[in-house]
């Protein structure tokens, strides 16, 4: 039996003896009405458990949008056009918006990679930068002893909007949310402090409450302040 697996931007094929294959599992089909930018616009107009963006941001404020780096499948290029339109509608100026790629401890991007991640429109309209872990602001310390040292442009913004994909994470429970802050735009020392708790049995996939890694992440996000 031949099986195809997505790998990076390509597909790899493997062949296994039929007697060694019990079954092949496929993802469930999920019904949906909207996709892509249309769904993002709908979500912004009908937020779940949160106010409208227009009730949070105000004209003249500096906005830091924190999003995933190239190691994550977050489609930032799909989200940015509707998000920018929503910010412009509120009266936010282009020069007051910075898109920050959350590198954690990963390498920096090339300009071409930044443009691919952000999408051409966002890349041309606003400032797009990699988070610089060498230029951070100390905002406090979590109850676990993790320093909340956050990239300056994010720490000093009036509003912080965090983007990210949601999926199982093998020791943080789930990805997304405050992970954009910790470890996304944190120092290496902060990341090491947080990740040192991954050896605890409570730090496992799908677990949020009682997960020391995730609780540390959430506390860091509260100290820093996530507005949307």
3-state secondary structure the chain: CEEEEEECCEEEEEECCHHHCCCCCCCCCCCCCCCHHHHHHHHHHCCCCCCCHHHCCCCCCCEEEEEECCCCCCCHHHHHHHHHHHHHHHCCCHHHEEEEEECCCCCCCCHHHHHHHHCHHHHHHCEEEECCCCCEEEEEECCCCCEEEEEHHHHCCCEEEECCCCCEECCCEECCHHHHCCCCCECHHHHHHHHHHHHCCCCCCCCCCCCHHHHHHHHHHHHHCCCC
Q: pTM to 2 decimals? A: 0.90
φ, ψ dihedrals at 101, nearest 5°:
-85, 125
CA 54 to chain centre: 21
Structural domains in the chain plus CATH codes? 60-224 (3.40.50.11440)
Dump pLDDT digits (tens) for 123-165: 999 999 999 999 999 999 999 999 999 999 999 999 999 999 9
Q: Alpha carbon of 175 to those of 154, 166, 179, 182: distances in Å?
A: 20, 5, 7, 11
Return the pLDDT at 32.
84
Return the pLDDT at 7.
87
Return the pLDDT at 170.
95
What span, in angstroms and rounded, lies between the C-alpha atoms of 152 and 155?
5
Return the pLDDT at 30.
86
Supply 144's token pair: 């676990």
For the chain, what percent of residues have pLDDT higher than 70? Answer: 100
Dump pLDDT digits (tens) for 70-118: 999 999 999 999 999 999 999 999 999 999 999 999 999 999 999 999 9
Segment 6-26 mean pLDDT = 91
Segment 193-217 mean pLDDT = 96
Segment 37-48 mean pLDDT = 96
CA 185 to chain centre: 10
Asked whether residue 2 carries a pLDDT value surpassing 90, the answer given is: yes
What span, in angstroms and rounded, lies between the C-alpha atoms of 193 and 146?
6
Return the pLDDT at 47.
95
Return the pLDDT at 27.
86
Segment 45-63 mean pLDDT = 95
108 contact partners, CB below 8 Å, separation of at least 6:
130
Asked whether residue 9 carries a pLDDT value surpassing 90, the answer given is: no
Return the pLDDT at 15.
94
Q: Alpha carbon of 209 to those of 110, 112, 145, 157: distances in Å?
A: 38, 39, 19, 29
Q: How confident is the model at residue 8 (pLDDT cuts 50, 70, 90)?
A: confident
Return the pLDDT at 26.
87
């Amino acid at each position: 039996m031949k099986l195809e697996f997505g790998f990076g931007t390509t597909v790899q094929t493997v062949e296994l003896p039929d007697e060694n294959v019990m079954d092949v599992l496929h993802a469930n089909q999920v019904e949906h009405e909207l996709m892509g930018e249309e769904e993002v616009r709908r979500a912004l107009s009908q937020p779940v458990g949160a106010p409208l963006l227009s009730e949070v941001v105000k004209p003249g404020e500096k906005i830091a949008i924190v999003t995933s780096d190239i190691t994550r499948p977050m489609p930032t290029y799909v989200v940015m056009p509707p998000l920018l339109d929503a910010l412009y509608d509120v009266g936010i100026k282009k020069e007051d918006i910075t898109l920050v790629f959350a590198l954690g401890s990963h390498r920096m991007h090339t300009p071409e990679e930044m443009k691919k991640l952000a999408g051409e429109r966002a890349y041309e309209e606003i400032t797009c930068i990699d988070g610089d872990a060498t230029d951070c602001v100390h905002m406090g310390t979590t109850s676990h002893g993790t320093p909340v040292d956050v990239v300056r442009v994010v720490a000093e913004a009036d509003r912080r909007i965090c983007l990210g994909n949601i999926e199982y994470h093998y020791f943080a429970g789930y990805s997304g949310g405050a992970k954009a802050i910790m470890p996304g735009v944190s120092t290496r020392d902060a990341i090491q402090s947080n990740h040192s708790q991954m050896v605890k049995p409570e730090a496992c996939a799908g677990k949020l409450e009682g997960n020391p890694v995730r609780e540390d992440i959430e506390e860091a996000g509260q100290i820093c302040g996530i507005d949307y």
